[in-house]
Amino acid sequence: MSDHVLVINAGSSSLKYSLVDSASGEAAATGLVEQIGEERSHHVHHGPKGEFNDEQPIANHEAALEAAVRAFETEGPALADVDIVAVGHRVVHGGDRFAAPALVDDELIAAVTDLVPLAPLHNPANLEGIEVARRLLPDLPHVAVFDTAFHQTLPPYAYTYAVPTQWKEQYGIRRYGFHGTSHSFVSAQAARLLGRKPSELNMIVLHLGNGCSAAAIRGGESVDTSMGLTPLEGLVMGTRSGDLDPAIHGLLARVAGRSAEETDHSLNSESGLKGLTGANDFREVSRRRAAGDERAQLAFDIYCQRIKKYIGAYYAVLGTVDAIVFTAGVGQHSAEVRAAAVDGLETLGIRLDPGRNARSELTVSTDDSPVAVLVIPTNEEWQIAREALTVVRR
Ligand code: AMP
């Protein structure tokens, strides 16, 4: 069996895992433990014997990983029978300390802990996952793969906010960008599809999932991206607002007596598609729009207008664009979003083929379109596995 990596993505009340063949990207098993710490937790494991479900209460991340290890024993594949070379951990915020994946040691844990103020929703859960996995799987090397690392190539004029200079030094306030693992994977796949080297291509990648972000990629390197200090900035998302006037925070404090925490929570969890329609799932918004719901139509228009604005902005940043790449749940599956996002951009050399787009083919532009429009499934687990391997093979 070829080299496998156990990829772990620990959220605040969930633990997702995948045993990935680093050469082929195939998962020998995947699993998800949800509602950790609640009365009823749900564990699903997909292995060689099919799907296994369990509804036992799972108190914490340690118990969740123990349940995963048990599922590997009973449902397969037995971890001892697989050539596992590393455990790869998704870590959301690497700040400006990590421009590449890194071996987990006490120093890395201290550095990721220092970054908690920048990612209070994500880094504590990621750290919990790392600590639990190191205890349960002490003989394997553990590697942290950062969502921010790919965007560390942004030039200072792209990552610096126009605010008092000392904020950057004192509080780390600057643009970091996220979804880097996906942008990196998808842009490399797009280059392969086009039969060119990443270094020869300029691309705009649109990751449209529950979270959404755009990246301008020149010669394989990220030069601008829509998410900022946190994943809140940029495109409209399932529950996040994306770009807005920062004065809204102050106004709500003055006229509604809302605390910073309350407004932060609303902008992260009660805004975006959910704030506009009550539904955060794009498929539901799409169903309602098809049924003539006006709020769903407005949400769709706002969502697509924002994407189009970023395409225009990043076209200008890059000067020439070889490909626009759509990925993640909405990007891969919604022909209507892709069509609306590039509608009217023929003068920029972006020509969509309606038939190819409706069928979500890999190439959805016409053969004579100067800019290729591509639909490429993301595979963050495979990318994490490959990056983890580069660290243990150094
Ligand atoms: P992700 O975060 O990549 O899993 O993407 C989740 C988002 O993709 C959700 O808003 C889903 O509603 C959306 N999505 C998944 N499948 C489809 C589909 N067939 N058509 C439109 N949106 C979809």
Q: Are 330 and 214 contacting, i.e. CB atoms less than 8 angstroms apart?
A: no
The answer to whether residue 46 is domain-embedded is yes
Q: Which of 146, 180, 203 is the last residue of a domain?
A: 146
Domain match, 114 and 248 both: no
**Residue with CA at minimum distance from ligand 1 atom 18:** 333
Domain match, 199 and 278 both: yes
The answer to whether residue 78 is domain-embedded is yes
Pocket flag, ligand 1, residue 185 (CB < 6 Å): no
Domain match, 136 and 235 both: no
Output the pLDDT for position 176: 98
Domain match, 92 and 230 both: no
Please state, in angstroms and rounded to a whole number, the distance separating the CA atoms of residues 111 and 107: 6
| pTM greater than 0.95 | yes
Kindly state the average pLDDT of the residues 209-236: 98
The answer to whether residue 165 is domain-embedded is no
Output the pLDDT for position 329: 98
Cα of 165 vs centre of ligand 1, distance in Å, is 39
Output the pLDDT for position 2: 83
Q: What are the tens digits of pLDDT across the range 56-92? A: 999 999 999 999 999 999 999 999 999 999 999 999 9
Q: Which of 146, 181, 214 is the last residue of a domain?
A: 146
The answer to whether residue 170 is domain-embedded is no
Output the pLDDT for position 394: 84
Domain match, 228 and 349 both: yes
pLDDT class for 286, splitting at 50, 70, 90?
very high
E strand spans, the chain: 4-10, 15-21, 27-34, 42-47, 50-54, 84-91, 102-103, 142-146, 202-208, 212-218, 221-225, 323-327, 372-375
What is the domain count for the chain? Answer: 2
Output the pLDDT for position 319: 98
394 or 311, which is more confident: 311
Domain of residue 125, residue span: 4-146
Please state, in angstroms and rounded to a whole number, the distance separating the CA atoms of residues 31 and 9: 11
Domain match, 110 and 237 both: no
The answer to whether residue 388 is domain-embedded is no
Domain match, 108 and 46 both: yes
**Residue with CA at minimum distance from ligand 1 atom 1:** 209
Domain match, 133 and 11 both: yes
Other CB atoms within 10 Å distance of the CB of residue 293? 16
Cα of 334 vs centre of ligand 1, distance in Å, is 8
When the pLDDT of each residue in the chain is averaged and rounded to a whole number, the result is 97
Cα of 169 vs centre of ligand 1, distance in Å, is 38
Domain match, 91 and 214 both: no
Pocket flag, ligand 1, residue 118 (CB < 6 Å): no
Cβ neighbourhood burial of 15 (10 Å; 0-12, 13-18, 19+): buried
Q: Write down the catalytic residue from 147, 224, 245, 353.
A: 147
Domain match, 199 and 343 both: yes
Is pLDDT above 80 for 168? yes
The answer to whether residue 179 is domain-embedded is no
For 322, list phi and psi in degrees, rounded to 5: -90, -35
Is pLDDT above 80 for 353? yes
DSSP string computed for 105-117: -HHHHHHHHHTGG
Is pLDDT above 80 for 240? yes
pLDDT class for 331, splitting at 50, 70, 90?
very high
Other CB atoms within 10 Å distance of the CB of residue 370? 13
pLDDT > 90 fraction of the chain, expressed in percent and rounded: 99
The answer to whether residue 162 is domain-embedded is no
- Closest-CA residue to 387 (of 94, 78, 32): 94
Domain match, 125 and 256 both: no
Output the pLDDT for position 1: 61
293 catalytic? Reply is no
Can you give the CATH number for the domain in which 330 is found? 3.30.420.40
Domain match, 231 and 346 both: yes
Q: Which of 146, 161, 184 is the last residue of a domain?
A: 146
The answer to whether residue 244 is domain-embedded is yes
